[in-house]
Structure formats: C-alpha cells, structure tokens
Amino acid sequence: MAEIVRVRYAPSPTGHLHVGGVRTLLFNSLFAKKHGGKLILRIENTDQQRSTPEHEQTLLQDVISLGITPDEGPDQGGAFAPYRQSDRMKIYADHVQMLLDQNLAYPCFCSAETISAKREAALKLSRTPLYDGTCAKLSKEESSNRIKSGERAGIRFRAPNIDFVLKDEVRGSVEFKAGSVGDFLITRSPQSSEEEVALGIGMPTYNFACVVDDHLMGMTHIIRGEDHLSNTARQLMIYDAFHWDLPKFAHTAMVLGSDRQKLSKRNGDAGAHDYLAQGYLKEALLNFLAFLGWHPGSTLTPRSGHPEILTPEELAAAFDLDGLQKAPAVFDLEKLRWMNAQYMRLLPAERVAEAARSFFENSEIESVRLGMKLITSEWFVRMVDLLRMDHTLLSELPLASRILFEDSPALDEASKQALLGPESKAVLIALEAAIDAVPELTSEVFLGIQKQVGVSAQVKGKQLFMPIRIATTGASHGPEVKNIVPLLGKSRVLKRIRHTREQFQS
Ligand code: GLU
C-alpha cells in the first residue's frame, strides 16, 4: 500500500505570518492535497524569548484568514497531539535520555558567555567556531555530581566526524563535510520552571525538537525554505543516532525582493495580513505565491484561460516537487497587482463582496458608511459586481461607490459646464419625462430611453451622454450608466435628475 503523505508547516510564532511563510504553508498544503495526504500545523515555540502565546494567536489567525485549514494542529487536534512544542517536554526529555544512555550526548556546563567568547576568538583567527569539547570528556560520574550539587547543564549532542549527504528533491545531492559541525546543544540548560526542574532538562533546541517531532508525527516530506539547509546537517545526524528513516526533503529557493535583494519589509515582505488589509484577495495572493519559485512541469490549460491563473484544485493537481526551482524567485508587486485585478473579475460576485464588506463598513467616507446600514446584502453584491470590473484592489471600491450612495453630490467644474446650454437642458427634460413614464428602469429600458431622448432633443454623442451621466451618477466617468440606473431604481434616478436640473439648469 502506498504510504500516506504527511507534511507539515512548522512556524516559530514570532509575529505575523510573512509572505515567505505563506508560500511554505501553501506548498505543503498543495502537496498534501495533490496526494490525498495530511497537512499538519506544528507550533515551534521552544525559543521562549521570541515565541509568545500572543504571537501564536496572531499567526493562527493569519492562517485562518488565508483559508488554509490544516488537518491536524493545535486547534484541530489529531492523533499525534500535542502540536505545540512547549507542550511536548516529556517526549523530548525521554528522547534526550535515550541519547545520554548511549553516550551519544552529554551534559555541558559551559556558560553562554564562555561559548560566545570562544566563538569570537575562533572567528578572529578565521576558524569555524566549533564547540571545543570541554565537557565532552567529563565522566558520567563527574557530570552527575556537578548536577547534584546544583549546577545547570544543557545537553550537547556528539556530532559524528563523518560526511553526510542529503538527497534533496530540489537541490539534488548536498554534501556536509565531516568536521563542519561541532557538538551542538539539543537542550538548553534548565530554567526555573517547575516542569523543567522536574524533567531535569531545559527547552530543546530547534534542530532536536524538529527531528523528534517530524519522526514521531510520521512526516513523509519536509518542504521548507532553503535557509534551513544548513540546519539539515545537524538534523541528519539526529535521525542517524536514533536509526530513524529519513523523510524526503525539499528545500525551496529563497524569495528575493523586487530589487533582487533579500526580501524585507521595504521590497515586498509584508505580512499576509498587510496584503489583505491593503485590499488584495487571498485567492490572488495564494495563486501569486504558488508561482514564486514553482512552475508546472507541463503546459496547463486552466479554466481561466491563463496559464498562471489556477483554481486551488487546479493548482493542487498541477503541483509537484519537480516544479520547484533552484534559482531564487523574485517578488514582483506589479504582477501581484495584476493577479488581483484578474481575481476581482474572476471570482463570484458574492465572494468579492464578502471580502470587500469591511472596506465599506470601515470607510473614511461617511456617506458610504451610513449607506451600508441601509442596503440589503443582495444590493451590496450587485453594487460590488458593478464596481469591481474597473478596479485592482478591494480598498478602491468604497470611493468608487459614492456614485451609488450620494444622491446630490457636489459636481466638479467640468461637470457643471457640461450641464449648461439649451441642448443639455432639453436632454434632461426629455430624460425625466421618459423615465417618469416607464414602470421600471432596466438596462434595456434605459438604453431605449436614451435613444429616444437623443431624437427628441436632437443631440447625439457626448452632448447627449454627458448630461445624462452627470445627472444620474453625479460624475463624468465611472461604470456604464445603463448598469448603474437599474441599481438605483426609477425613483432615485428621477430624484437625481430633478435635483440636477434645479441646481444647475434653472
Ligand atoms: N520553525 C522553523 C521556522 O519557523 C521551521 C522549521 C522547519 O520547517 O523545519 O523557521
């Protein structure tokens, strides 16, 4: 029976989820979906200085807002719970003990200051700063006496002095030469928390906890950023020490900013929530990120007609590790904007409206905020459906909606000018009369009326269309008038025309 794919996204909760993290989460999620496997979310919070419960909440919220739901995780639970590393101390303590028992690890009493001073000294001599082995030679008895007398020790893993080769799904064979990694800490020295004192170990380090969990949680594939490649040397040593089978590793190329420098806030590395708050749709953001460092192996024919605009299902079907690229990917904000504009048109109007709602409800424009309280959801969807065609971001829609919410807006000078003169007057008089005479103002009815008004007032082209547009919408540009008037309805349109005539044509 084929093995069931299990992959994980294992963030350290140090703040908001940034685009690089979203991409890793997405690749794992697509891979799980493609193979009918499971996506596990694991919180790696063993660095308690940087990882806080508040940050964890922020991060979980960000994952939810992207619409990606793990199969197992701190909120979902699962057969391999707990999924938060700080809740797994007993498991780590047991595994540390196994290594201590086999003399594959030893207590280390060197203080952080000593280690850091030796490190500095090695760097000054242009040497790789490896642990110098001070505590490696202590006898078990000596170490245990020092611990009994109250000294605190971290646990250090004896790094074997042999070559390791990683067969990476993206990078091919990666060699880690013997001697490039010194003995490394797998747990920090215990702090005063009750649990740490009782278990006799401090918080595990990332490399140790990660391997223990990846093994116990049955991970089949580790898909993560290339920045973890150098950690993998230490991780391979731990797999080896426990005689555990290796999962498959795929280290994805880094994402560079548009200036080809390391991704930072300045060149695109905002949090996912920043992009959503700016008015990007999660669907567009995810589709965009999927193509950042990945390309489908064969030419696709997606429903959208565009080779890079794929539904989540199409993406999952197309995704494979072969398509992950070695070269760094460049974050192109213009492309993301383009992608968003496509999604504004492509998604069902209901979905765009749902995503747009908060921008309207929290708009700085008072008429929009107040208007939102008076309309039905159905009307709101129709309005968004009308406005979305001409815009790139959801956040642009409230301003564009003023033409629908404000019945007597202030006109600009050019619009006022366009209403002057006998032709404009004749157009609006005829328009008002014709609209008054119909029971309902549909697009077709309106087009008929417009034609009829042109004939009766003997004007055409701009001279006909401009006064009509300005009188009905209050602006000289915007979506097609024939689509706006049915949304306003007959009586509001009449009110607007009358108001315009009284104000500017009497
Ligand atoms: N916790 C690590 C991080 O947030 C990820 C580790 C991994 O994927 O192995 O960078």
Q: What is the DSSP string of 404-446?
A: HH-SSPPPPHHHHHHH-SHHHHHHHHHHHHHHHHSS---HHHH
Mean pLDDT score of the chain, rounded to an integer?
A: 95
Q: What is the mean pLDDT of residues 209-217?
A: 98
Helix, coil or strand: residue 117: helix
Per the CB < 8 A criterion, the answer to whether 383 and 345 are in contact is no
Residue with token string 């078990």: 140
Q: Whose CA is nearest to atom 7 of ligand 1?
A: 10
Is the distance from the beta carbon of residue 12 to the nearest atom of ligand 1 less than 6 Å? yes
Which of 46-55, 296-305, 368-377, 438-447 has the lowest average pLDDT? 296-305
Q: Is 18 in the pocket of ligand 1 (CB under 6 A)?
A: no
Which ligand 1 atom is nearest residue 206's CA? 1
Apex 125 CA angle, 120 and 131, nearest 5: 55
**265 labelled catalytic:** yes
Ligand 1 centroid from CA 179, angstroms: 24
- Is the Cβ atom of 473 under 6 angstroms away from ligand 1? no
Map out the domains of the chain as residue ranges: 1-75+253-346, 88-252, 348-406, 408-504
3-state DSSP call for residue 76?
A: coil
Q: Is the pLDDT of residue 1 over 60?
A: no
pLDDT at 506: 77
Does any ligand 1 atom lie closer than 6 A to the CB of residue 11? Answer: yes
Q: What is the pLDDT of residues 383-424, one digit of tens each?
A: 999 999 999 999 999 999 999 999 998 999 999 999 998 999
Centre of ligand 1 to C-alpha 20, Å, is 12
Specify the pLDDT at position 290. 97
pLDDT at 301: 87
What number of other Cβ atoms are within 10 A of residue 505's Cβ?
A: 16
Distance 224 CA to ligand 1 centre (A): 7
Measured in angstroms, how far is the CA atom of residue 228 from the centroid of ligand 1?
7
Residues 2-49: tens digit of each pLDDT: 689 999 999 999 989 999 999 999 999 999 999 999 999 999 999 988
Give 471-506 pLDDT, tens digit per residue. 999 999 999 999 999 999 999 999 999 999 999 887
Q: Is the CB of 35 under 6 A from ligand 1?
A: no
Of 368 and 129, which is predicted with more confidence? 368
- Please give the number of the atom of ligand 1 that sits closest to the Cα of 8: 8
Tokens of 18: 């940034």
Give pLDDT, residue 299.
80
pLDDT above 60: residue 255: yes
Sign of CA dihedral 243, 248, 254, 255: negative
| DSSP summary character for residue 10 | -
Whether omega before 479 lies within 30 degrees of 0, making that bond cis, reads: no
CATH class of residue range 408-504: mainly alpha
pTM of the full predicted structure?
0.94
Residue 134 confidence (pLDDT): 95
Residues 90, 200 contacting (CB under 8 angstroms): no
- What pLDDT is recorded for position 194? 85
310-361 residue pLDDT tens: 999 999 999 999 999 999 999 999 999 999 999 999 999 999 999 999 999 9
The closest residue, in CA terms, to atom 6 on ligand 1 is: 10
Q: Are 169 and 321 in contact (CB under 8 A)?
A: yes
pLDDT at 28: 98
Q: Which atom of ligand 1 is nearest to the CA of 227?
A: 10
pLDDT confidence of residue 442: 97
CATH architecture of 1-75+253-346: 3-Layer(aba) Sandwich (3.40)
Instruction: Verify whether ligand 1 is closer than 6 Å to residue 210 (CB atom).
Output: yes
Per the residue annotation, which of 90, 167, 265, 326 is the catalytic one?
265
Question: What's the angle, vertex CA 191, arms to CA 187 and CA 194, rounded to 5?
Answer: 110
The answer, yes or no, to whether any atom of ligand 1 lies below 6 A from the CB of 219, is no
Residue 228 Cβ inside 6 Å of ligand 1? The answer reads yes
Which atom of ligand 1 is found nearest the CA of 225?
8
Ligand 1: distance of its center to the CA of 210 in Å? 8
Q: Which helix (H) or strand (E) holds 496?
A: helix 490-504
**42, 45, 210: which to mutate for ligand 1, most atoms within 8 A of CB?**
210
Determine the distance separating the centroid of ligand 1 and the alpha carbon of 308, expressed in angstroms. Answer: 28
**Which run of H or E residues covers position 399?**
helix 397-400
Q: 224 in ligand 1 pocket by Cβ < 6 Å?
A: yes
User: What is the band of 224 on the pLDDT scale with cuts at 50, 70, 90?
Assistant: very high
Q: Is 234 in the pocket of ligand 1 (CB under 6 A)?
A: no
Question: Which pLDDT does position 2 carry in this prediction?
Answer: 67
Burial class (CB in 10 A: 0-12, 13-18, 19+), 260: exposed
Domain at 88-252, CATH homologous superfamily: Glutamyl-tRNA Synthetase; Domain 3 (3.90.800.10)
Residue 259 above 90 pLDDT? no
82 confidence band (pLDDT: 50, 70, 90): very high
pLDDT tens for residues 145-198?
999 999 999 999 999 999 999 999 999 999 999 999 999 999 999 987 888 888
